[in-house]
């Protein structure tokens, strides 16, 4: 995803030295918006309280600040400019939002009836929104359902964003499919129909690989092939799982796995890399590569013909942690409590601000909270230490109306009071997966998903295939 967002996210107008307080989210009523009612926390929070507040804060992004008509996720929410892109819906972020709302239902943060009503509105909107051979565009106008071009030639289907959305749709279907409630059963059927209408095999353009984009005006001119290791694994899994538009295993082998070239014997900090991180030059890429595909796809013990994805994702997180401890560029604020690099809003040494895919070979001194928080299944101790740092030591600096702000830098005494859907959207699902494997169990037990994984040669001892 960063391949495009790096160039297209709107550059911020000035350096922000703003801090916003948040009310005690453990008392949050999801039907209320608390932007204008900030309070300082009265006590030092327990770990359980911090986890609950973190998940509730992430849910607020997709509940309080959803696009008003579609009820899907806005691309961004700026507390200093709330109307910025108010009607720009993000497809992938909306998929993460569906999964976040399921976490909210499960934990009693929202009522099931209210959530079903909201999810029904969202899925009805998706049914009539622009689609291109079944794939939705990266951005959608939340009022009209029309594509908002992400770039001159990026005005059609975005298969990767669509995969992130489909991951959420399948979880919605699985959660409600056995309900005896008519509204819930209808919701499951809507999710099933939307997922089954995606023409995955069209996006091979007749080759043994999947391609990211297709435009009715520019065809496949962007020509971006999906190759591992990055965030796009889920796209191949769902393409193989499709009952109507499936791909062959050779597409996966040649495209994602690059006929085995995805493997590496390299290491960092004495930790095996396992996989070649595309464009990372012998180290690891941004942390979201080990998040986006794995909100539903359980990496633990998951192997294909080439690699063990449990090792690949957990080692990715461990290497990122060790890199921040080593801190080769000597930035202030990198330590065992403050760590994690991924794509987020950013600030450069010259004071300019924007968006960047932070990683060891693009380290700008910026910590993105979603990185360490969403690593919870991989590095539970280190991730919890980070959350304590945010909530018990720096609440007034780094916590806002929807949980931790998108990015901060101790080096530059900078924090942006802003949020991005794709960053907030991985937090609640990955914490819940750490707690009880909730979304992993929903997704991995879906019959079509299991069939797709088997087709591609995957094995998972935990799930029995």
Sorted by where each starts, the structural domains of the chain and their CATH numbers stand as 2-460 (1.50.10.140)
> Quick one: CA torsion of 414, 359, 88, 353, rounded to 10 degrees?
30
Q: Residue 18's pLDDT band (boundaries 50, 70, 90)?
A: very low
* Predicted local confidence at residue 268, as pLDDT: 97
User: What is the predicted pLDDT for the residue at 29?
Assistant: 37
pLDDT for residue 96 is more than 80: yes
Sorting pLDDT into bands at 50, 70 and 90, what band is 116? Answer: very high
> Residue range 119-146: average pLDDT?
98
- pLDDT class of 366 with cuts at 50, 70, 90: very high
Half-sphere exposure of 129 (CA within 13 A, CB side): 31
The mean per-residue pLDDT over the stretch 104-116 comes to 98
Per the model's pLDDT, the better-predicted residue between 164 and 27 turns out to be 164
Could you tell me which of 425, 451, 455 has the C-alpha nearest to residue 439? 425
pLDDT in the model for residue 465: 83
| Local confidence band at 461 (pLDDT 50, 70, 90 cut-offs) | confident
What pLDDT sits at residue 14? Answer: 32
Backbone angles phi, psi at 22, to 5 degrees: -125, 145
Per residue in 377-388, pLDDT tens? 999 999 999 999
Strand 302-303 with 459-460, pairing: antiparallel
- How far, in whole angstroms, is CA 257 from its chain's centroid? 22
pLDDT class of 464 with cuts at 50, 70, 90: confident
Give the DSSP H or E segment for 48: helix 47-63
Average pLDDT over residues 249-265: 97
Looking at every residue in the chain, the average pLDDT score rounds to: 92
Q: Rounded distance, CA 166 to CA 275, Å?
A: 25
Range of lowest pLDDT (4-13, 50-59, 141-150, 283-292): 4-13
Q: What is the mean pLDDT of residues 388-405?
A: 97
pLDDT at 200 (0 to 100): 98
Give dist(CA 445, CA 45) in Å, integer.
Answer: 36
> CA 318, CA 191: separation in Å to the nearest integer?
36
Task: List, for residues 326-348, the tens digit of each pLDDT value.
Answer: 999 999 999 999 999 999 999 98
| pLDDT exceeds cutoff 60 at 13 | no
Listed in sequence order, the residues at least 6 apart from 137 whose beta carbon sits closer than 8 Å to its beta carbon are 91, 130, 147, 148, 149, 150, 154, 155, 156, 157, 158, 161
Q: Do the Cβ atoms of 96 and 68 come closer than 8 Å? A: no
Rounded-to-integer distance, Cα 62 and Cα 68, Å: 11
Phi, psi dihedrals of residue 232, rounded to the nearest 5°: -100, 10
Q: Tell me, what's the pLDDT at 322?
A: 98
The whole-angstrom distance between residue 359's C-alpha and the CA centroid of its chain comes to: 16
- Please report the pLDDT score of residue 2 as a whole number: 41
Is residue 22 scored above 50 in pLDDT? Answer: no
What count of Cα atoms within 13 Å lies in the side-chain half-sphere of residue 441? 10
* Distance linking the first and last C-alpha atoms of the chain: 30
Q: What is the pLDDT of residue 396?
A: 95
What does the pLDDT read at residue 222?
98
Residue 6 CB burial class (10 angstroms; 0-12, 13-18, ≥19): middle
Q: Which pLDDT score is estimated for 462?
A: 81
Quickly count: other Cβ atoms within 10 Å of residue 265's Cβ: 7
Residue with tokens 């794995």: 294
Confidence band, pLDDT 50/70/90 cuts, at residue 169? very high
Q: Reduced to 3 states, what is the DSSP secondary structure of residue 418?
A: strand
The radius of gyration of the chain from alpha carbons, rounded to an integer in Å, stands at 20
């Amino acid at each position: 995803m960063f391949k495009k967002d790096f160039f297209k996210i709107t550059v911020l107008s000035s350096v922000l030295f703003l801090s916003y307080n948040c009310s005690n989210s453990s008392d949050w009523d999801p039907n209320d918006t608390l932007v204008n009612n900030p309070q300082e926390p009265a006590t030092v929070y327990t770990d359980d309280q911090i986890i609950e507040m973190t998940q509730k804060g992430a849910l607020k992004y997709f509940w309080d600040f959803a696009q008003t008509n579609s009820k899907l996720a806005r691309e961004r929410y700026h507390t200093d400019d709330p109307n910025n892109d108010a009607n720009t819906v993000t497809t992938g972020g909306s998929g993460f939002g569906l999964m976040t709302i399921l976490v909210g239902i499960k934990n009693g943060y929202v009522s099931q009836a209210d959530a079903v009503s909201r999810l029904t509105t969202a899925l009805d909107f998706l049914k009539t929104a622009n689609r291109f051979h079944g794939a939705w565009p990266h951005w959608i106008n939340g009022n009209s359902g029309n594509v908002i071009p992400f770039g001159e030639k990026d005005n059609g289907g975005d298969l990767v964003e669509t995969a992130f959305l489909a991951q959420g749709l399948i979880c919605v279907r699985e959660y409600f499919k056995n309900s005896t409630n008519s509204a819930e059963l209808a919701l499951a059927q809507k999710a099933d129909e939307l997922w089954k209408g995606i023409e995955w095999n069209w996006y091979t353009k007749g080759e043994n690989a999947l391609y990211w984009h297709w435009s009715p005006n520019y065809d496949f001119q962007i020509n971006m092939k999906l190759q591992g290791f990055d965030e796009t694994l889920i796209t191949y899994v769902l393409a193989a799982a499709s009952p109507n538009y499936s791909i062959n295993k050779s597409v996966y082998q040649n495209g994602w796995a690059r006929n085995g070239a995805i493997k590496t014997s390299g290491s960092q900090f004495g930790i095996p890399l396992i996989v070649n991180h595309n464009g990372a030059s012998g180290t690891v890429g941004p942390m979201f590569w080990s998040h986006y595909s794995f909100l539903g796809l359980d990496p633990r013990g998951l192997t294909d013909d080439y690699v063990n994805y449990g090792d690949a994702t957990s080692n990715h997180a461990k290497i990122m942690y060790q890199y921040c401890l080593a801190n080769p560029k000597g930035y202030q604020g990198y330590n065992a409590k403050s760590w994690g690099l991924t794509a987020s809003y950013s600030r450069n040494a010259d004071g300019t601000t924007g968006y960047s895919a932070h990683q060891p070979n693009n380290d700008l001194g910026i910590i993105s909270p979603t990185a360490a928080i969403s690593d919870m299944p991989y590095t539970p101790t280190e991730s919890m230490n980070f959350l304590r740092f945010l909530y018990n030591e720096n609440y007034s600096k780094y916590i806002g109306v929807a949980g931790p702000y998108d990015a901060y830098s101790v080096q530059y005494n900078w924090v942006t009071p802003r949020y991005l859907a794709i960053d907030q959207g991985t937090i609640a699902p990955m914490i819940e997966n750490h707690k009880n494997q909730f979304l992993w169990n929903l997704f991995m037990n879906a019959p079509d998903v299991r069939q797709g994984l088997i087709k591609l040669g995957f094995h998972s001892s935990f799930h029995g295939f």
